[in-house]
Amino acid sequence: MKQRQLELIPTGKARRSKSSSSGFLKWAGGKGQLVPELLHWIPASVTNYYEPFVGSGALYFALRKSDLIDNACLSDTNEELINAYKQVKENVEALIRILSDHQTQHSKEYYYEIRSLSPDEMPSLERAARMIYLNKTCFNGLYRVNKSGRFNVPIGSYKNPRIVDQYRLREASKLLQHAKVQVRDFESVVEDAEPGDFIYFDPPYIPLSTTSSFTSYTKAQFGEAEQRRLASLCDELANRGIKWLLSNSDTPLTHALWASHNIEIVKATRAINSNASKRGQVTEVLASSVC
């Protein structure tokens, strides 16, 4: 194992990126600020790119905008998230019109009215608009559901949230045309990966404490058993000669699970804690099979 601590200075291949576009969503734990460092790990040639925990897609959008990848598979088990990606890709102009209506009607009362709707009973386009609207107006862009799978994040304290960003939505739609977007488990989606492909794993992080767990992105929790399953998959992929990069929190468990691979420590700013005094710069782990 190689371990060293890095400051986030965009050098080497990172300079090839024209933009670190973070896509069309706010996302707690999104990788927009880490894109320059992540780009250091991208091989010079990638046949197929996989991102099984797509989130805001910050790395994917930066790679596509800089023409560093062509074919891609973006996936997640979060059906609301993947539906939003599909509608941005396929129906962006109609989506912009619905979001503009949400922008006009936005208020505290309207937020909770929209939040109370059942997405399962909505057409795909309206469902995507609901997800994006809530994402732009909820607390810290956090996506969290209860045990019944219902979104339960309170409204954020924004005076004038930018609910519809036409330029960013259209840009994202254009960049998504080369991507396959799927609801898939991380293990099944990469089972056909081959040497020459590259995978970026950005799972729900291992909690730093018992009170800092934000793993409820779907009804199924992403706990220690899933982290161990992911680590085992990374071992298997490395043995098959497939290159991958993984982000996670800087914890003893993280280091233990990925001890046989390259590990680097990076610094990131996180603002998700409800206690302002506990927000700020934290260390995170990048583990990789790339030498």
Cα separation, 176 vs 90, in Å, equals 9
In this structure, the strands spanning 262-270 and 198-201 are unpaired
Strand, helix or coil for residue 29 = coil
The type of residue at 189 is V
Q: Which CATH class is domain 1-291?
A: alpha beta
Q: Which residues have CB under 8 Å from 106's CB, separation 6+?
A: 133, 137, 161, 163
Q: Which residue type sits at 123? A: P
The amino acid sitting at 224 is E
Mean pLDDT over residues 195-209, rounded?
94
CA 136 to chain centre: 15
More confidently predicted of 53 and 159? 53
Contact yes or no for 84/132 (Cβ under 8 A) = yes
3-class DSSP assignment, residue 155: strand
> Rounded to whole angstroms, how far apart are CA atoms 196 and 99?
39
- For residue 218, the model assigns a pLDDT of 55
Spell out the long-range contacts of 187-193 with Cβ–Cβ below 8 A and sequence spacing 24 or more.
187/229, 187/230, 187/233, 189/50, 189/52, 189/73, 189/75, 190/50, 190/52, 190/233, 190/237, 190/242, 193/48, 193/50, 193/237, 193/240, 193/242
pLDDT digits (tens, 9 = 90+) for 232-248: 999 999 999 999 999 99
Sign of CA dihedral 85, 24, 166, 138: positive
Mean of pLDDT over the chain: 87
Q: Which of 78, 71, 80 is nearest to 218 (CA)?
A: 78
pLDDT at 263 over 50: yes
Structure confidence at residue 31 as a pLDDT band (50, 70, 90): confident
Tokens matching residue 39: 């780009």
Provide the pLDDT for residue 252: 96
The answer, yes or no, to whether residue 220 has pLDDT greater than 80, is: no
pLDDT at 29: 72
- Mean pLDDT of the region 57-73: 95
User: Which pLDDT belongs to residue 30?
Assistant: 73
Residues 4 and 29: beta-carbon distance below 8 Å: no
**Where exactly are the structural domains of the chain?**
1-291
**Angle formed by the axes of helices 92-105 and 108-115, to 10°?**
130
> Is the confidence at residue 272, as pLDDT, over 90?
no
- Taking only the tens place, the pLDDT of each residue in 122-152 is 999 999 999 999 999 999 889 999 888 899 9
Distance CA 162, CA 169 (A): 12
Residue-wise burial string across 82-109, b where 16 or more C-beta atoms lie within 10 A, e elsewhere: bbbbbbbbbbbeebbebbeebbeebeee
Segment 2-31 shows an average pLDDT of: 54
Q: What is the predicted pLDDT for the residue at 237?
A: 98
Section 172-200 average pLDDT: 96
Tokens for 276? 């302002």
Whether pLDDT at 45 is above 80: yes
**Site of tokens 């069309």:** 24
